[in-house]
Chains A and B, each alone.
Chain A
Amino acid sequence: MIKNIYNLGDAALYCDFGDTVNKETNLKVINYFNDIRKKNITGIKNIAPSYNKLIIYFDLELTNFKKIKDVVRNLDISTFEAAKTKVVKIPVCFDDEFALDLERVEKRLSLSKKEIVNQLISQKYFCYMTGFIAGMPFLGDIEEKIRLDRLETPRVKVPKGSVGITEQFCNIYTFESPGGWNIIGNSPKKVFTKDPTKLTLIDPGDEVEFFEISKKEYSKLNEQK
């Protein structure tokens, strides 16, 4: 349920689903997102779901905070349909060339590269949200033993395709971007497709499975150029 609704500026509604970040809370956010999107409510221009928040942007010329708040408050959640989700398999190369922070990660976690990689590819991850840069998935939760903090000084340029871990999450940098996650591999897959009918390979609510590929396979599959 939505715990609180605030205004974010004069043209957005900020729905707070509580402090905890877990799959259960996030699925509620995603269900609200899907339902509101489906309803095509007058004046709503954009909706941004995240771990435990939903921000709804509206056109101040057509509606206002009070009106949209009433609409959202009165949504009948019993009619919400469960989100259609899928499992997405993502190839990752963990070659030293791509694993920019492996040394730091090995040291911090007191684990070998093989142990870290095997742990990462041993389970499926839930996609909480996509964004920051176009199509970038925030995936979780990774096993306790491979969790660590962000880099003290973020990188100015994280290479496109980089696979990173931080805290309980992992992600894929869909574009070259500044960033502070620990980079341990790189995927040749174009996760943000630029195909207008299907912009992203991974959507909120989906499950993602990583599988290891060699450098040779990486060059063959490379779509990042």
Chain B
Amino acid sequence: MSKNNFKVLRPGINTTFQDLGRDNLYHVGLPFSGAIDKRNFLIANSIITNREDDAVLEFAYQGPLLEFSGIKTSFVITGNVNFKIIKKDTSEIKGECYRTYDLDNKDRLDIISTEKSVYGYLSVKGGFKLNKFCNSYSTTVRAEIGPNDGKKIEIGQTIILNSADSSIKKNLEYFNSKIEFIRVIKGTNFDYFSEDSIKDFTSEEFIVSKLTDRMGMRLNGPKIKNLNKTNIKSEGLGKGVIQVPADGDPIVMLSDHGTIGGYPKIAVVISADYDKLAQCPPGEKIKFKIVSLTEAENLYKIYTMETKNIINKIK
């Protein structure tokens, strides 16, 4: 008997398997990776009643077109995503995020695009049939590791699903909100930059440029002037670190970032605001605001509490 599976009719722009990420391998050059928008990842697995660390498909901008084969499965999509289900008889159902839907044999799921955001998540009941690599289902394309041989999803391939009972149907009323500022903590090279540039950095708008992917986000705006050294001795980086190279355009490190870098660090995005920053598509304007370490720690407590409250509202 053939197993429940998806045939990939269109892979989408950057569709990969992800989970909570991979710890303890920075020293060999592997970043955390994992779902970029952790909150939407967790909500997806909660609605579909999977385990917290089950793998999902993460897509960016345009998502995949998948044809389901097998005996009924259920799925949920989270984020801000435009999608539809094309039934076998060609009738269409417009999809709503945070709602559980069924797929029958030969139904198609067309994940058309993310809207005013970058990343969306597809979780299926029972999860995908995958092997962990170093304790994680996250794919790190640049290092060619993780599920799917370390590759993005490709056209024509088959994705096997675990069999699962699909009788429970849970839903959530939820809207992804925007925040006015991206809050940051001063970086370890904060004092390398001119007073005027610090003022620009904390008061002017920056625009997310097209040079943005899972590794990093390049910003355009007022040029940040370095008065000290434009290169430092190469050292570790981290998610949310904002480096400023000699050209003065800041780069924010995202989940698949290179693990070592030699540009001065002006600031670091606080953990509570990382999801929201990473969801800003090219063209979006952002503003930074400096907060203290204590404020950042408290804001993270609020963020995790909010996530729990959202998950508790799933019915």
Contacts and interface: CB of A to CB of B under 8 A. Distances in A.
Interface in A1-50: 6-12, 14, 19, 21, 33, 37, 45-50
A47 B27 contact: yes
A55 B238 CA distance: 9
Nearest to B240: A9
Given A10-B268, A130-B27, 11 more contacts: A9-B238, A12-B268, A48-B235, A48-B236, A55-B26, A55-B236, A57-B32, A130-B28, A131-B29, A133-B258, A192-B29
A49 B142 contact: no
B27 A204 contact: yes
Interface in A75-89: none
Nearest to B259: A131
Contacts of A57: 26, 32, 238
Contacts of B187: 8
A132 B142 contact: no
Contact of B236 (A37, A53, A203): A53
A142 B261 CA distance: 21
B304 A61 contact: yes
A33 B235 CA distance: 14
A66 to B, nearest CB: 9
Interface string B245-285: 00000000000001111000100111100000000000000
12 contacts: A9-B238, A10-B271, A11-B238, A12-B238, A21-B233, A50-B235, A53-B233, A131-B236, A131-B258, A138-B234, A192-B28, A203-B28
Interface of A: 6-12, 14, 19, 21, 33, 37, 45-55, 57, 60-61, 64-65, 129-136, 138, 174-175, 177, 192, 194, 196, 199-200, 203-204
B192 interface: no
A175 B144 CA distance: 9
Nearest to B303: A60
B28 A200 contact: yes
A177 B256 CA distance: 14
B145 interface: yes
A194 B238 contact: no
B295 to A, nearest CB: 9
A46 B234 contact: no
Nearest to A132: B260
Contacts of A6: 188
B155 interface: no
B241 interface: yes
A196 B148 CA distance: 16
A134 B265 CA distance: 22
B25 interface: yes
B interface, how many residues as a size bin?
Answer: 35 or more
Interface in B115-165: 133-134, 140, 142-145
A132 B238 contact: no
Contacts of B188: 6, 8, 14
Given A8-B265, A64-B297, A131-B29, A51 B142 contact: no
A194 B5 CA distance: 27
A128 B13 CA distance: 37
A131 B27 contact: yes
Nearest to B150: A194
Contact of A134 (B29, B32, B261): B29
A33 B27 contact: yes
A19 B269 CA distance: 26
Contacts of A129: 27, 234, 260
A10 B270 contact: yes
Contact of B233 (A49, A51, A130): A51
B28 A199 contact: yes
B71 interface: no
Contact of A65 (B26, B240, B293): B293
B29 A9 contact: no
B35 interface: no
A10 B234 contact: no
Contacts of A33: 27
Contacts of B234: 50-51, 129, 132, 138
Contacts of A175: 142-144
